[in-house]
Chains A and B, each alone.
Chain A
Amino acid sequence: MVDFTWLIGGPQGSGVETASTIFSGVCAKAGYQIFGKREFHSNIKGEHSYFEVRVSDRMVRSNSSTVDLMVSYDAETIFRHYSTVAPGGSIIYDLDMRDTETVDVATMDPYFKERLHAEIRRLGVPPTVRGVLDAAARSGVRTYPVSFKDLLADLAEQHGNPRLKLMKRMYNVLGVSLSAGLAGLPRDLLLRLIQDVFHKKAMVKKLNADAAAHAYDAGADLGDIAHVLAGAEKRPGTALVQGHQGTAIGKMVAGCRFQSYYPITPASDESVYLESNEILDVKHARPGSISVVQTEDEISAIGMMIGAALTGVRSSTSTSGPGFSLMAEALGWAGINEVPVVITLYQRSGPSTGLPTRHGQDDLLFAVFGGHGEFPRIVYASGDIEESFYDTCLCFNYSDVYQLPVIHMMDKFLSSTTTTCPVFDPSRVTIDRGRLLDSIDGEYRRFQLGGDGISPRSYLGLKNGIFWNTGDESDETGHITEDPVVRRQMMDKRLSRMDIVLERVPEEEQAVCHRAGEYTIVSWGSTKGPILDALEMLESEGVSVGFIQVKMLHPFPAKLVERLLGGARVIIDVESNQTGQMGNLFSQNIFRRIDHYILKYTGRGMTCDELYDAMSDIIRGGAPYRTVLMHGS
């Protein structure tokens, strides 16, 4: 069984992401399943960023805590990650930086340096790259010094162009190619991918392909871990997807034709992708398009989305916590006026600006309770990128059928993930526009009372369908009223929808019981991947642990979750926040206490190993009520 983690690090702007795109692509094309994730600072150039790719011949859904092959052309990557390389693992590094001292690396903040120095003192090595690499070698890590400068000099000679010696920006391609050579990935796949990535300029393409070929061969000559990644059996229908593509392509398929947004990490990638693909092929019809509008702020983004939705168009916006905060007032407007809209909420670490480029599941309770007054909404969470495609389509159906705003919870863990998964299948998607009218005869009242409280919906521009909307309480026509009797009728009409949602949405869409057990994890969103991987690790030791993934978080499917729990004796809540927000909802709705919390709020995603360790402790007994996970730099 192959389970191999590769790590590349470097200053932001040095091409770490391009290198990882190439490595992930080559591994996927070689038939492997991969899971990769990027960590980066809120910074354009210079601060440390890194990318870990886990490669396997079976499904992988999370990163592990250890690295098998690390490649680095800067000292900071060595200092930050040398200790995560497993005994038996390998480090390829640039010879030139061997004597770099910790104090020379200005981008390492004092808090990290202090911990690093304590570790270096304990190891009894000098505070240099060479020092920590010697320590790593002592623990069984193979270290491979390579002169990146010499590789460039070779290339300069080959091209008869001395200036190429200075092309440090090609270090990323050298790094990934050295790694591919050492790991024995197929050479032709690497060269083909390099050509795809740099296809825009013939000269750049040629240069990078030559550099890659040379570095690959140098990597293959390095040592004896060759051919660990020689290839696996390719699974047909496998796609290599990035975090934002599930929701973006989901929006296209679901028929979303208007998206407004204000730039914010980590949500904007989705909007930019939609705008880059704004013209849409449509079967048996003229080409369609999605109008993507970059607004002046998130208040405008939600206002425009609601305005567009009022014309009968499926409309959405995409944002993160700070932007969603600004949307709170208009969210209530959409609620009181029963406007179907979808807000895709890519969470990051708060509060305030928080850790702007780091992960967190901090906004669940805000999504559930945010906004003044009482109004109906759905809060729905996806567990991985594949799910997020289908869930996006479901969210649009929910919003149309129940005529309310839907908040689709995503996060930075998902947005900065690159992974293999079965390619999205649009034929599994249905489109249900609920009671949207296409013609009206006779008298029409937008908020007609009676029945199940969900009234037939007109839209701006529909003949004979005139209605009024107001943020004030209104009567059936949509005109303002402060009458106490009508007020009660209208509040009941809107809020009775919460019970209807739980009755009518299929159970498997509300919560998924991955397995049942005496020990059962309850969780939501992107923790799904690390949890499933950790449970497989436990299972291989004969320990079976249950896992219930709650997708519908508001209204909370209390009865369903209670039933799925079965005879679970110990309930463990796993979340990426400090307070256990879903655990809160769970206890409020199910009147049952969470027995153990496993939480992580360092801004870094959970690894399967740390979750496995925490679960093992709980099962062994004596684990604390609350375990906080800390892995990651």
Chain B
Amino acid sequence: MALRVADYKTDVHNDWCPGCGDFGIVNAIQMALAEMGVERDRTAIFSGVGCSGKTSHFINTYGIHTLHGRVMTFAQGAKVANPDLTVVAIGGDGDGLGIGAGHFVAAGRRDIDMTYIIFDNGVYGLTKGQASPTLKLGEQPKSLPKPNLNYSVNPIGLAITSGYTFVARGYSYDIRHLKDMIMQAVRHKGTSFLDVLQPCPTYNDINTRDWYAGLDMKDVAERHSRIYKLEDTGYDPAVHYADRGDLDEKISQALIRSLDWGDKIPIGVFYKNEHITSFETRMQEHIPNYTENPPAHQRISEEERPITDVSGLLGSLLV
């Protein structure tokens, strides 16, 4: 029987603030899982700590709510041990780009077949609105005693230069588009990164839903949504040829678009490269039956006795 979106929901009470952008993201994830028909018990959602960290409790698959900044480490370990799992990691921008920035970069280098979604709202909501790594320099959301002293990190640019092979952005109030981004990300072979712009209605009074909609623009006649879709502009994110020329071009255009902010903020797929081998392929080069007999499939005992035969190694130690 085909699963419906409702099958991917738990009955856990959702205590996010009314109007929180996170609702749109969790809905889009549930819709994407249902549309792809992924088996619930072969799927694991890992989450970090913060408002976004609670997401795994709202989704009716295996749900692992980990530590602040460390979500990618847990998720990658599980995927390496059992490559059959569909693994999606979720965290906030402070979680993944502040305390977890080292893991963010290292995960890109590995390119394990999984998806990482960052709920990006510019503030640390659960601790009452401090500046997060994506908050722009000089901005002062309402909880900050003074304007932000730090330059903002560029999640899209950092992901591309770290080696992520699928890099995209969604917007939490465009659920249909976001669902499509999630499906593309999950289907991508390799680590896919999805930056989701998500207004925090309680603490970020600058990048609000109205701001993204352009309602603050002074010239009423010229008002427009700040968000636009790359795909609507004929943008082609894919690296088609495994040569430097095409790679240089696709990386350059993606990095340039990643700098866009202000009145025109792109969403959609920035960069996609299917010519890079995933971690699983690299493992298989050294362990020929890795994908067919990964750690999680291996038998280690029979009637409580070990069946690993180390006689060769032990023989070499005998004097």
- B-contacting residues of A (Cβ < 8 Å)? 25, 28-29, 234, 237-241, 245, 249, 252-255, 257-258, 260, 277-291, 293, 295-297, 299-315, 329-330, 333, 393, 420, 423-424, 426-427, 429-433, 459-472, 478-480
Partner of B64, one of A433, A461, A469, A479: A469
Q: Tell me whether B77 and A260 are in contact (CB under 8 A).
A: yes
Q: Which of B175-183, B199-207, B252-260, B286-294 contacts A (4 or more CB under 8 A)?
A: B286-294
A479–B64 alpha-carbon span in the complex (Å) = 10
Q: How far is the CA of A505 from the CA of B286 in the complex (A)?
A: 39
Output the nearest chain A residue to B314 by Cβ-Cβ distance. A423
Q: What are 7 sample pairs from A and B whose C-beta atoms fall under 8 A apart? A: A29-B319, A255-B306, A258-B80, A313-B295, A433-B301, A460-B82, A469-B65
Q: Which of B54, B70, B318 has the most CB of A within 10 A?
A: B70
Given contacts A313-B296, A462-B41, whether A307 and B12 have CB atoms under 8 Å apart is no
A460 touches B307 (CB 8 A): no
- Interface residues in B, total, Cβ within 8 A: 65
| Contacting residues, chain A, for B106 (C-beta < 8 A) | 295-296, 300
Q: Are A310 and B78 in contact (CB under 8 A)?
A: yes
Which residues in window 79-94 of B have CB below 8 A to A? 79-82, 84-85
Which chain A residues border B56 with CB–CB below 8 Å?
468, 470
Q: Is the CB of A249 within 8 A of B294?
A: no
Q: Which residue of A lies closest to B40 (CB)?
A: A466
- The B45-66 residues at the A interface (CB cut-off 8 A) are 46, 49, 54, 56-57, 60-66
Q: Which of A234, A333, A420, A426 contacts B67 (CB 8 A)?
A: A333
Assembled-state Cα–Cα distance A302/B108 (Å): 19
Q: Does B243 contact A (CB under 8 A)?
A: no
- CB-CB under 8 A from A279, the residues of chain B are 287
User: Whose C-beta in chain A lies nearest to the C-beta of B69?
Assistant: A299
**Closest chain B residue to A302 by CB distance?**
B73
Q: B80 to A463, Cβ gap below 8 A? A: no
Q: B91: shortest Cβ distance to chain A, in Å?
A: 13
Given contacts A252-B308, A287-B289, contact A461 B317 (CB under 8 A): no
Q: Is B304 an interface residue, CB under 8 A from the partner?
A: yes
| Smallest beta-carbon distance B191→chain A, Å | 14
Q: Which of B62, B102, B308, B317 contacts A245 (CB 8 A)?
A: B317
Cβ B299 vs Cβ A282 within 8 A: yes
Contact B318 A249 (CB under 8 A): no
Complex CA–CA separation, A429 to B302 (angstroms): 12
- The residues of B that contact A297 with a CB separation of less than 8 Å are 102
The contact of A241 among B40, B103, B317, by CB within 8 Å, is B317
A255 to B309, CA, bound (A): 11
Chain A residues contacting B12 (CB-CB under 8 Å) are: 479
**Closest beta carbon of chain B to A308's beta carbon, Å:** 4
Q: How far is the CA of A427 from the CA of B85 in the complex (A)?
A: 34
Write the chain A residue with the least CB distance to B85: A461
CB distance B63 to A289 under 8 Å? no
Measured between beta carbons, the chain A residues less than 8 angstroms from B300 are: 254-255, 257, 288, 314, 431
8 closest residue pairs by CB, A with B: A255-B300, A303-B73, A307-B77, A304-B77, A296-B106, A257-B295, A308-B81, A470-B65
User: Do B41 and A282 have beta carbons less than 8 Å apart?
Assistant: no
B1 to chain A, nearest CB (A): 15
Q: Report whether A278 and B286 are in contact in the complex, using a CB–CB cutoff of 8 Å.
A: yes
Question: Which among A249, A284, A469 is the interface contact of B313 at CB below 8 angstroms?
Answer: A249
Q: Is the interface of A mostly helix, strand, loop or mixed?
A: mixed
Query: Known contacts A255-B300, A260-B77; is A303 also within 8 Å of B70 by CB?
Result: yes
- Is there a chain A Cβ closer than 8 Å to B242's Cβ? no
CB within 8 Å for A468 and B63 given contacts A423-B317, A431-B305: yes
Q: Enumerate chain B residues within 8 angstroms of A313, measured Cβ to Cβ.
A: 81-82, 295-296, 298
| Chain A residues within an 8 Å CB radius of B54 | 480
Instruction: Point out the residues of chain B lying under 8 angstroms from A420, CB to CB.
Output: 319
Contact B283 A291 (CB under 8 A): yes
Complex contact B317–A303 (CB within 8 A): no
Residue of A nearest to B109 (CB): A296
Structural contact, A431 and B304, CB atoms closer than 8 A? yes
Known contacts A239-B318, A480-B57; is A280 also within 8 Å of B295 by CB? Answer: no
Given A279-B287, A464-B41, A468-B57, A28 and B64 contact (CB-CB distance below 8 Å):
no
Q: How many angstroms from the CA of A429 to the CA of B300 in the assembled complex?
A: 12
A560 to chain B, nearest CB (A): 25
Q: Does B310 contact A (CB under 8 A)?
A: yes
Chain B residues with Cβ below 8 Å from A307 are 46, 64, 73-79, 81
Residues of chain A lying within 8 A (CB to CB) of residue B307: 282-285
Please state if B65 and A239 are interface contacts (CB–CB under 8 Å): no
Docked pose: A471 CA to B57 CA in angstroms: 12
Q: When chains A and B are docked, how far (Å) is the Cα of A251 from the Cα of B45?
A: 29
Is the pair B77, A303 in contact by a Cβ cutoff of 8 Å? yes
Chain B: minimal CB distance from A182 (Å): 22
Whole-angstrom CA separation of A257 from B307 in the bound complex: 13
Considering residues A258, A260, A309, A432, which has the most beta carbons from chain B within 10 angstroms of its beta carbon?
A258
Write the chain A residue with the least CB distance to B79: A307
Quote the shortest CB–CB distance from A415 to chain B (angstroms). Answer: 16
Chain B residue nearest to A26 in the complex (CB): B319
B319, A240: Cβ atoms under 8 Å?
A: yes
A260 to chain B: which residues have CB within 8 Å?
77
By the criterion CB–CB under 8 Å, are A431 and B290 in contact? no
Kindly provide the distance from the CB of A358 to the nearest chain B CB, expressed in whole angstroms: 27
Min distance, Cβ B303 to any Cβ of chain A, angstroms: 9
Q: Is B267 an interface residue (CB 8 A)?
A: no
B1-19 interface code vs A (CB 8 A; 1 in, 0 out): 0000000001010000000
Residues 197-239 of B contacting A (Cβ, < 8 Å): none
Within 8 Å CB of B62, what residues of A? 460-461, 466-468
Contact partners of B42 in chain A: CB under 8 A: 461
Q: B305, A258: Cβ atoms under 8 Å?
A: no
Report the nearest A residue to B53, measured CB to CB.
Answer: A470
Is A249's CB under 8 angstroms from B314's CB? yes
CA distance A288 to B312 in the complex (A): 15
Rounded to whole Å, the gap between the CB of B46 and the closest CB of chain A is 8
Rounded to whole angstroms, the CA-CA distance of A345 and B160 in the bound complex is 36
On chain B, the residues within 8 Å of A393 by CB distance are 306
The residues of A that contact B64 with a CB separation of less than 8 Å are 307, 310, 460, 468-469
Residue of B nearest to A283 (CB): B307
Do residues B313 and A329 form an inter-chain contact, with CB atoms below 8 A?
no
**Which residues of chain B come closer than 8 Å to A284, judged between CB atoms?**
302, 307
Interface string of B169-200 (1 = CB under 8 A from A): 00000000000000000000000000000000
Q: In this complex, which of A249, A295, A310 has the most chain B Cβ atoms within 10 angstroms of its Cβ? A: A310
Interface centre among A295, A302, A303 (most CB of B within 10 A): A303
B80 touches which one: A287, A291, A433, A459 (CB < 8 A)?
A: A291
B82 touches A461 (CB 8 A): yes
Evaluate whether A286 and B293 lie within 8 angstroms (CB atoms) in the complex, with A257-B298, A463-B41 already known.
Answer: yes
Do the beta carbons of A288 and B306 come within 8 Å of each other? no
Q: Which residues of A contact B135 (CB under 8 A)?
A: none
A460 touches B44 (CB 8 A): yes
Given A288-B298, A466-B60: A308 and B78 within 8 A (CB)? yes
Is B73 within 8 A of A282, CB to CB? no
* Least distance between A427 CB and chain B CB atoms (Å): 8
Given A282-B309, A283-B309, A468-B65, check contact A312 B317 (CB 8 Å): no
List the A side residues contacting B49 at CB < 8 Å.
471
Given contact pairs A461-B82, A479-B12, A430 touches B103 in the complex (Cβ within 8 A)? no
CB nearest neighbor in A for B279: A293
- Specify which chain A residues have a CB less than 8 angstroms from the CB of B103 in the assembled complex: 296, 299-300, 303
Closest to B75 in A: A307
Give the CA-CA distance A333 to B165 in the complex, in Å. 31
Contacts of B309 in A (CB 8 A): 280-283
Task: For residue A473, give the distance in angstroms from its CB to the closest CB of chain B.
Answer: 12
Residues of the A chain whose Cβ atoms lie less than 8 Å from the Cβ of B283: 291
Give the chain A neighbours of B41 by CB distance below 8 A: 461-466
